[in-house]
Structure 1
Amino acid sequence: MSLTAYDFTGRTAFVTGAAGGIGRATAALLAEAGATVHCADRDRQGLQETAALVAEHGGTPHIHALDVTDRAALATAVASVTGPLHVMAAIAGIMHTSTVLETRDEDLDRVLAINFKGVLYACQEAVRSMIASGTRGSIVTMASGAMDSASAGLLCYSVAKAAVVQLTKTLATEVGRHGIRVNAIAPGWIRTAMTDRHEPAAQEQAEAAMVRHSPLARVGEPEDIAHAVLHLASDASSFTTGQILRPNGGVAMPW
């Protein structure tokens, strides 16, 4: 094994949630590694900005303005990929905060639709494409460190991310015989628009708390997670499937 294991020249990747944050950083890094990158998101302006960044990194961007909860739209986008699909990075997600007693049906339905069903649909379409073309591909899903501990107000989010983990493990056992690997990433606190949801003073306090709890004494950046995706998508992790990678600065160390 050599550094060529991280060479994606001639390969195609599909990234959901690509309009910003971790998704954008992942699309750019895959492009830098040589991949043709398909970027999907419902944020059209963000997609255009990501496409420009992908091009700056030497990639050939393709954009798909869609909602991941629309199974048909996602299926059409994946089917439009020319040639084999080698990587699916299912990153799209939203944050929602409400206590258990305050959680409404519509809150839970919306979070589960985007954070779980959207990942499920992306996985399903990727597997269908990979099996049809005989591609030994890699699927990377996005879980969260929130699944490892109870956090007040994060019921919907934590439940959806825990479901993503079970999806990842189950799918890995089902498609391994086709040479398809499925792994999840469970990030800690990453500085993105999604985590920047407090008033400035409260946001600063929240990040400071994460820094105090981290042995590395910092919060994460989108690029930290993009590199984790790159690793799991690459041949360097060819013997890794059904696993949960936790780039969290050491904040949580589950047994």
Structure 2
Amino acid sequence: MTKAFELPDKVAIVTGAGSGIGEASAQVLAGAGARVVVADLDLDNATRVAEQIDKDGGRALARRVDVADPASVTELVTGTVTEFGRLDIQVNNAGIMLRRPVLEISPEEFDQVLSVNLKGQLYGSQAAARVMEPGSSIVNTLSTIIDFSTAGTGSYAASKKGGEALIRTFAVELGPRGIRVNGVAPGWTESGITRGRHVNERGEFQQESFDQLAAKMTAVSPLGTVAEPIDSAYAVLYLASPAGRLLTGHVIRVNGGASMT
């Protein structure tokens, strides 16, 4: 039965794979047998992840990508096909969060968040779909914020909710071609984004305030826990593998029951 989760001879791209959920997803897909292109704006981090995958017995390449630039995304996809001859799995994971009260969000900031989080998923899905064959899979990273928002996250919430709508539209349009499109919506997860909220103006990480928020998020979950990057990575594997062959247009909420929509 475990063969349904194996990805022999498959080729995957993971954006935002230099850390957090993207890094874990790249490692899990490689562990399942896929050849993985580790893509990130920070090439040094992407290289570190790719080298670790190679050391663990997988096969990976590091590539720099700016997901807000459609030309950069297209170059990543075409380069992957040139290198490996195909593309079977596209994980559009790269994202940013800029916290600001809604009355203070500037046009420039709003555009920046949507360019990475929403347009990046549009460009990545478009470029991948143009080269994919039937049986391929696109997985986009959203957030539990699609179910409820919090103060200071207006631009982030708008980008992720828009991403949910894109998933459904892509699923409808690409379904006849045998390409599945789904999403993973992590709950509060210890990652670069969440840790970044607890760095003071001197660049010092505030462990106490981080622990207080982690405890608050734990209390929201019926399971009494918060997510780790690997939890979302396993959901990505399920959606990308033959085990998820009948899922399209769906969003898996990896949040310990914090939302159950």
TM-score, length basis structure 1:
0.96
Establish whether residue 88 from structure 1 lines up as the match of residue 90 from structure 2: yes
Establish whether residue 140 from structure 1 lines up as the match of residue 142 from structure 2: no
**Offset of residue 96 of structure 1:** 1.1
Task: Name the residue aligned to 2:221.
Answer: 214
Q: Distance in 2 between matches of 1:17 and 1:158?
A: 18
Secondary structure of the equivalent of 1:49? helix
Task: Name the residue aligned to 1:235.
Answer: 242
Task: Name the residue aligned to 2:192.
Answer: 193
Task: Name the residue aligned to 1:70.
Answer: 69
**Offset of residue 39 of structure 1:** 1.1
Say if 1:28 and 1:57, in contact at 8 Å, map to a contact too: no
Q: Aligned ranges for residues 14-163 of structure 1 at < 5 Å?
A: 14-81=13-80, 82-130=84-132, 134-163=133-162
Q: Distance in 1 between matches of 2:66 and 2:246?
A: 33
Q: Distance in 2 between matches of 1:135 and 1:55?
A: 28
Q: Distance in 2 between matches of 1:79 and 1:57?
A: 27
Q: Distance in 2 between matches of 1:90 and 1:11?
A: 17
**Out of 214, 219, 225, which is 2:232 matched to?**
225
**Offset of residue 201 of structure 1:** 2.3
**Offset of residue 121 of structure 1:** 0.5
**Offset of residue 102 of structure 1:** 0.9
More deviation in 168-177 or 210-219?
Answer: 210-219
RMSD: 1.0
Secondary structure of the equivalent of 2:237? helix
**Offset of residue 56 of structure 1:** 2.7
Q: Match for 1:86: what amino acid?
A: D
Q: Distance in 1 between matches of 2:89 and 2:232?
A: 16
Say if 1:182 and 1:242, in contact at 8 Å, map to a contact too: yes
Structure 1 runs of 4+ with >6 Å offset: none
Q: Distance in 2 between matches of 1:128 and 1:230?
A: 22
Q: Distance in 1 between matches of 2:34 and 2:55?
A: 13
Q: Distance in 1 between matches of 2:121 and 2:247?
A: 20
Task: Name the residue aligned to 1:164.
Answer: 163
Say if 1:84 and 1:135, in contact at 8 Å, map to a contact too: no
Secondary structure of the equivalent of 2:138? strand
Task: Name the residue aligned to 1:250.
Answer: 257
Secondary structure of the equivalent of 1:97? coil
Establish whether residue 203 from structure 1 lines up as the match of residue 205 from structure 2: no
TM-score, length basis structure 2:
0.93
Say if 1:31 and 1:57, in contact at 8 Å, map to a contact too: no
Gaps of 5+ in 1: none
Q: Distance in 2 between matches of 1:56 and 1:232?
A: 26
Secondary structure of the equivalent of 2:139? strand
Q: Match for 1:230: what amino acid?
A: L
